[in-house]
């Protein structure tokens, strides 16, 4: 909900008011991400149910792959929460959570730069889980039974993961260099 201007706030001229007010066009985007969060919660419960019901028939490797899939869903869900809460707070309006016992600790000092670094780290975590799942399933590469993984696919996935890591390092470095020395965390 938009915050009302205080009596001491200067009134914006029409064009700046329109431009500033346009930030509310992002609200449906964040609401859509909340719906996507619900889809991921449903997917998690579905996969968890599958794991519980079929545990006696699954091998240890299959259980490990399902558990990694559950972790993947949780990490993507965490990424969604960072984007929803941090993005809304940064780009649309304050949530007014100060003093709330459940306020995320990182939200106190969130800004666009910190959000970018956190998102990059979350993407690396998600990519790591995908790569680990690939490595676990890759033991049968080249066998006639396994058509899921190819050597080239594994190499490309590893290269893409490495690019994610280099990108995150680049984002963090640029963020660090763009901060005045007094503002840098010690």
Distance CA 186, CA 170 (A): 20
What pLDDT is recorded for position 1? 47
Q: In the numeric block, which tokens belong to residue 108?
A: 């106190």
Of residues 78 and 106, more confidently modeled: 78
pLDDT digits (tens, 9 = 90+) for 14-71: 888 888 888 899 999 999 999 999 999 999 999 999 999 999 999 888 898 899 989 9
Which of 8-17, 31-40, 84-93 is least confident? 8-17
Please say whether the dihedral angle defined by the alpha carbons of residues 47, 81, 98 and 3, taken in this order, is positive or negative.
negative
What is the band of 146 on the pLDDT scale with cuts at 50, 70, 90? low
Residue 164 has pLDDT above 60, yes or no: yes
Global pTM value: 0.72
Give the residue among 91, 77, 90, 83 at the shortest CA–CA distance from 37: 77
> Which has the higher per-residue pLDDT, 3 or 46?
46
pLDDT of residue 46: 96
Beta strands in the chain (DSSP E): none
Residue 141 is predicted with a pLDDT of 67
Q: Which tens digits make up the pLDDT trace of 166-184?
A: 998 998 888 888 877 765 5
Tokens 């609200």 belong to 27
């Amino acid at each position: 909900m938009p915050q009302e201007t205080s009596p001491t706030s200067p009134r914006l001229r029409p064009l700046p008011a329109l431009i500033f007010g346009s930030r509310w066009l992002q609200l449906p985007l964040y609401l859509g991400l909340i719906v996507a969060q619900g889809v991921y919660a449903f997917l998690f419960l579905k996969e968890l149910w599958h794991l519980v019901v079929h545990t006696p028939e699954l091998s240890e490797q299959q259980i490990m792959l399902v558990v990694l899939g559950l972790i993947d869903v949780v990490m993507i869900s965490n990424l969604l929460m960072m984007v929803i809460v941090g993005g809304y707070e940064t780009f649309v309006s304050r949530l007014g959570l100060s003093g709330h016992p459940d306020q995320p600790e990182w939200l106190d000092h969130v800004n666009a730069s910190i959000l970018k670094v956190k998102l990059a780290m979350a993407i690396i975590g998600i990519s790591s889980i995908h790569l680990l799942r690939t490595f676990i399933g890759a033991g049968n590469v080249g066998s006639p039974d396994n058509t899921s993984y190819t050597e080239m696919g594994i190499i490309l996935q590893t290269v893409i993961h490495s690019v994610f890591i280099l990108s995150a390092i680049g984002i963090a470095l640029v963020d660090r260099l763009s901060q005045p020395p007094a503002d840098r965390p010690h």
